[in-house]
Amino acid sequence: MKILTKEEILPSLISDISKAKQKVQIISPWIKSEVLEKILSSIDENIKLEVIIRSSELSDFLITDEKVFQLIKEKNGTIFLNPKIHAKVVIIDSEIAYVSSANITNAGLIDEDGNIEAGTVINNKKEIKKLENYFEEIKNLSISIDDISGFILNSTNGRNGEALLLQELNEQTYLKFPNEKGFILGRILEIRKLNTSLFSSDENFIFKNLFSNKDELQKVILGKENDLWKKSAFYSLLNENNPSISIAKIELITEYNPQPEEGKSFLKTPLNPIPAGTIFSCFTNDEEIEKILKINHAGYYMDTPVKFGKLLNTDLNCYLDLEKIATMHMAVLGTTGSGKTTFVRRVLENIPETDIQVFIIDLYDEYSELDVPSKKIKKISLKDILFPLTAEDMKKLFKEEGIVIQEKTNEEKNLVAFLKQKLKPDLEFTAFNNESLEDILFESLDVLSPESHLRNEIIGFMDIIKRNYGEDALTYQKETVSFVKEGINAEKQFIIFNFKEINNINSRINIAGIIMKELFLTAKKNPDKKRIIVLEEAQNFAPEKGFGEVQASSDNISFIMSRKIATEGRKFNLGITAITQRPANISKYVLSQLNTQVIFKLINNNDLEAVSVFFESSKAYVFDLLPFFKPGVCYITGLAVPFGLISEIKLG
């Protein structure tokens, strides 16, 4: 260690810094540009330069002049602000360090009639390491000037505030407000541009709209009759100096603690307003915010994060917690062409290696080209058949072709009793395990008297069905039961039931219903294995009463099983992902149980009303945007994400 007088500090410092090869770290509360220029004159631009200066009040920057910032930036250096520093330290290449009483100013290092200063030069590696660690501690308590995006003007509660922006930013930009344990995550909801030339200098220009120069106002506006001249003159006045500021409405989303106590959440709700004057910054490190985006709503890291798209207007990846979907269900809602099915495909295609099975009720063959290894997929294509599960189903089919069974005659009663014996809403007990519908109908003729008019009507019914649907419609029930069982018992990760060829709505409902019923029973027997049912056009299988042609009744097995899985499935690790273009038509009860909601463009008033329950008052601005979402843009909220966010998925 060497002791230096004031006169010795600057020459020695210039000499040692000129030899720097890797980095120079400086702490000096105040800096003058003419002195800093001498110190940095020979430093290479490839040297890592970090400078910490004092920022406790405006007078600090009446000493540290504007050119200081220019000089540091010319050397590709980074400037940090700290309101409390008084130390003066310079560290060069981790090999030599200066600790002194002198600021990098004329009074501190040059003027003979300036301050009386002294310092030391340290060469001991162990002591220099302690100084480097101390420098990092101070830096972590400081803020990089590059990171300052603005400051809070006012905050009336822990949920929102108003801020002055110091750089050009877009709406939906994510911000961080530092606090003792980490930071509060915020988001820009709205930006207003204000022209300062239109406001009085002696009034609060943010809230008062008084012109600064009343004489100019009178010249332009008052006493002039020619509207064209008036417009032109006023436009010129606006452009004369055109100084403007940006005021942002800020949403405070969550408080993030990167090192919580053991067992505690990383996130918690901000409960107190942010003090006026608090500075904030944007996220310059994508990894930092993506780390937060991998936390679920409970505030813990996702067990199985699944990437599906990007935060709107950014290149930041968004994730869903697959475990929360598998156990707590998900709704995907939006108009035709808005991106619902593509979103689900993106999720499925990005599922990592896991033992979670996905069973897809694919109505329109939209998942057959799922971009996952073929060894993971089992595809089951169902033929266009009739699939009644009860005698009531069969009576409806008869009625559609003009045969009305009222069970008033013995013949009708005998027929219905026979059908009840054969048709059961259960995959194991239905006669379709061993017989086709055609077999059953031919057998039903034996319970009718030879002279019964029903005999001819049933024979005629079969001819009509074959003509309308094809031969398979009456003969392929046994194979369908076999295929369904095969799919339910498959070991593949993705099992796709393709319903595209099935035209009869009740048959779709019944086959989907027995698939859901079997999966529910299987899950009860083996709850350790997680399963997800993807239900396309869910309004057909879990309808709201009074909407559409599908009835919400005890006769609808899909409706019964959708409700049952939505309510009880989580106990057995069975989840349901319901996709619909008509949220108003899906059972409100089922919808309320789907604890993650993905909402794309909606324009119908009934549908908008159906999803309004997912938008608390602070998210009303997002709700108002739904009719204007472009395809691929969606709002996601619920248990599988850390907080409500607007995302964009890749279409096509």
With 60 as the cut, is the pLDDT of residue 215 above it?
Answer: no
What would the two tokens of residue 155 be? 């905050």
With 80 as the cut, is the pLDDT of residue 196 above it?
Answer: no
Distance CA(245)–CA(131), nearest Å, equals 41
Q: Where in the chain is the domain with CATH 3.30.870.10?
A: 2-145
List the single range of 80-84, 97-101, 529-533 with lowest mean pLDDT.
80-84
Distance separating the N- and C-terminal Cα atoms of the chain: 68
What would the two tokens of residue 236 be? 């010129």
Position 202 scores a pLDDT of 41
Per-residue pLDDT of 142-192, as tens digits, reads: 878 877 888 898 888 888 899 988 888 888 888 988 887 888 999 998 898
In one letter, which amino acid is 215? D
With 50 as the cut, is the pLDDT of residue 25 above it?
Answer: yes
Q: Taking residues 291-304, what's their average pLDDT?
A: 92
Position 546 scores a pLDDT of 62
Residue, of 530 and 44, whose pLDDT is higher: 530
Distance CA(96)–CA(361), nearest Å, equals 70
Q: Taking residues 614-625, what's their average pLDDT?
A: 85
- For 625, the 3-state DSSP assignment is helix
List the single range of 49-58, 204-213, 434-443 with lowest mean pLDDT.
204-213
CB 315 within 8 A of CB 586: no
With 70 as the cut, is the pLDDT of residue 207 above it?
Answer: no
**How far is residue 423 from each of residues 550, 560, 619, measured CA to CA in Å?**
21, 18, 50
Per-residue pLDDT of 99-153, as tens digits, reads: 999 999 999 999 988 899 999 999 999 999 999 999 999 988 887 887 788 889 8
Give the percent of the chain with pLDDT over 70.
91
Position 616 scores a pLDDT of 80
CB 632 within 8 A of CB 651: yes
CATH code reported for the domain at 2-145: 3.30.870.10
Distance CA(426)–CA(481), nearest Å, equals 10
Distance CA(496)–CA(490), nearest Å, equals 11
What would the two tokens of residue 141 be? 């308590």
Position 290 scores a pLDDT of 86
Contact partners, residue 644, CB within 8 Å, separation at least 6: 619, 622, 635, 636, 637
Q: DSSP secondary structure string, 249-307?
A: EEEEEEEE-SSPPTT--SEE---SPPPTT-EEEE---HHHHHHHHTB-TTSSB-SSEEE
Average pLDDT over all residues of the chain: 88
Distance CA(16)–CA(590), nearest Å, equals 73
Cα-to-chain-centroid distance, residue 293: 8
Distance CA(309)–CA(648), nearest Å, equals 6
With 80 as the cut, is the pLDDT of residue 232 above it?
Answer: no
With 60 as the cut, is the pLDDT of residue 221 above it?
Answer: no
With 70 as the cut, is the pLDDT of residue 596 above it?
Answer: yes
With 50 as the cut, is the pLDDT of residue 205 above it?
Answer: no
Q: Taking residues 541-552, what's their average pLDDT?
A: 73
List the single range of 21-25, 353-357, 549-553 with lowest mean pLDDT.
549-553
Residues, the chain, total? 652
With 80 as the cut, is the pLDDT of residue 213 above it?
Answer: no
Per-residue pLDDT of 233-261, as tens digits, reads: 655 555 555 567 889 999 999 999 888 88
pTM of the model: 0.78
Contact partners, residue 244, CB within 8 Å, separation at least 6: 193, 194, 195, 196
- For 54, the 3-state DSSP assignment is strand
Q: DSSP secondary structure string, 389-409?
A: -SHHHHHHHHHHTT----S-S
With 80 as the cut, is the pLDDT of residue 348 above it?
Answer: yes
Position 570 scores a pLDDT of 93
Pairing verdict, β 357-362 and 531-535 = parallel
Position 83 scores a pLDDT of 86
- Provide φ and ψ at 317, rounded to 5°: -70, 145
Q: Give the residue among 552, 558, 514 at the shortest CA–CA distance from 536.
A: 558
- Provide φ and ψ at 559, rounded to 5°: -60, -45
277: left (phi over 0), alpha (psi -120 to 50) or beta: left
Strand partners for 295: 301
Identify the burial level of 207 via C-beta atoms within 10 angstroms of its C-beta, where 0-12 means exposed, 13-18 middle and 19 or more buried. exposed
Position 44 scores a pLDDT of 83
With 90 as the cut, is the pLDDT of residue 321 above it?
Answer: yes
